[in-house]
Amino acid sequence: MRGLGLVGLFLWGLGLAQAPTLYLPLDDRPPNWAPCTWGLVVCPPKGAYRGSMGANLEALRAWLLATPGKGLVASLDVLAYGGLLQSRHLVLSAEDALARLGPLLSWKVRYGGDLFLFGVVPRWDARERERNLAVLRALASWPRLPGVYLEAVWDDALRNSPAPREAQTLPYPSRPGADEAGQVLLLRALRPGLRVAVAYEDGALAGRITPYEGIPLRDTVAGVLQSALAQRVSLTDGPDLVLYIYGGQNPRKAIQDLLRLMPRFPVALADLSRVNRGDPGLMAYLQGLGLYARLAAYASWGTPANNLGSALAQGGLFLGDQEGRLRRLAEAYFAYWWGEVGRLWVRARFPEPLPQEAQGVGALWAYPELDGYRVELRGLRFPWARAFEAEAILDLVPASAFRSRQLVE
């Protein structure tokens, strides 16, 4: 900065404040790539991500070093290995993996923006587990740099998985999760200090050891809030957002809770009743009583940490943005529908990699309504050519216009 002078420093700082926030997703599966479609951040070209083949690292580095920003939310695993899948099995030395992370610090030096970084503690069956852990341990000094936040998330910890213990040995924050981590760090970058109250369907849920995490749910919740730099408050403190946690025990009781909470606060609903699927009974109540369209956010697509982080992040990022909130709810409903209907239909009929004909599942779409809009499914694709996830092209059409069209026909 030598030679800039006071005016130069002011203009430089003003330019940084007006610069965008950049986002470097873990891979191009829908939960990771979705924020690139929200209009909040700048992302690499979609072509730099190549599904299960992994990212084009040269293209990502070139984009990163050529793109200024006030902040960068980035996956370490995509730059080091090409993505989550590649991080498990790619043969690469720890030294080479660390060298591939160098452009992150180069970007910070060049543009002065803050770094919000996450790395994945590998799951039990990853062939390169020790290498990945060595890389995460070698980054111990990074969080001490000004404007750098670093955390580790552990991926799919089944019973007796070493990942929770390994994560706790790292000298920076760690928690369960992976595919929601980018969304949560975007909340940290774009809306830090969100005041959040947590409400459980049943208080006993807080002590439950949840699937794929290996720790009590209360600790997962605390970790997600810490990642988001959210401030936990009580309901009596007037929170910005209530994170309601549903465990699948009593949908009627959950609805009664929501009816009490929603007139007073924006409520983000995390459905933890099942892994990778929501509770049809709860959804039937939400739709039948018109509550779904009034939620601040909803998530049921993944593991408990996935759903907690996604509901929290989307609820916080789109507070006060009616159109953005409804579009996120439409996407969340598609993810729910995919778990209940789409995935089962496709798996029963097609082998993987999925053929083009599998897109015919879209004919089963139920066209839900959200606050006067009909959710149209314009198309879908399978970014990894498998049935586990699908990427939807959705549109919100005024329901009145659709009904008028029906009368004319």
Q: Give the start-to-end residue ranges of the domains of the chain.
A: 1-190, 193-320
Share of the chain above pLDDT 90, in %: 91
CA dist 147 and 197 (Å) reads: 28
Average pLDDT score over residue span 133-161: 95
> Measured between alpha carbons, how far is 151 from 116 in angstroms, rounded to an integer?
8
**Digit-coded pLDDT (tens) for 204-247:** 999 999 999 999 999 999 999 999 999 999 999 999 999 999 99
Compute the distance between CA of residue 111 and CA of residue 114 in angstroms, rounded to an integer. Answer: 9
* β 174-176/148-154 pair status: parallel
Q: Grade residue 402 by pLDDT with cuts at 50, 70 and 90.
A: low
Provide the pLDDT confidence category of residue 18 given band limits of 50, 70 and 90. confident
Query: If you classify domain 1-190 with CATH, what class do you get?
Result: alpha beta
Non-local CB neighbours of 12 within 8 Å, separated by 6+ positions: 1, 4, 112
Q: What pLDDT is attached to residue 158?
A: 85
Length of the chain: 409
What average pLDDT is seen over the chain? 94
- pLDDT surpasses 60 at 16: no
- Report how far apart, in Å, the C-alpha atoms of 176 and of each of 68, 201, 247 are: 31, 21, 17
The string of pLDDT tens digits covering residues 76-124 is 999 999 999 999 999 999 999 999 999 999 999 999 999 999 999 999 9
Side-chain half-sphere of 1: how many Cα atoms within 13 Å? 12
Residues 180-190 have a mean pLDDT of 98
What pLDDT score does 160 carry?
85
Ramachandran bin of 372, using left for φ above 0, alpha for ψ from -120 to 50, beta for the remaining angles: left
Q: Which residue has the tokens 């200024």?
A: 68
Q: What does pTM read for this prediction?
A: 0.94
Helix axis angle for 217-228 and 181-190, nearest 10°, is 40
CA 403 to chain centre: 35
Among the CATH numbers 3.40.50.2300, 3.30.70.260, 3.40.190.10, 3.50.30.10, which is that of 193-320? 3.40.50.2300
Whether 245 and 198 have beta carbons less than 8 Å apart is answered as: yes
What count of Cα atoms within 13 Å lies in the side-chain half-sphere of residue 260? 9
Q: What whole-number distance in Å separates Cα of residue 89 and Cα of residue 327?
A: 36
Residue 40 Cα to chain centre, angstroms = 14
pLDDT score of 400: 82
Sheet containing strand 391-398, strands side by side: 369-370, 373-381, 391-398
Averaged pLDDT, 315-320: 98
What is the structure's pLDDT at 254? Answer: 98
What pLDDT, on the 0 to 100 scale, is given for residue 352?
A: 98
Residue 324 clears pLDDT 60, i.e. is over it:
yes
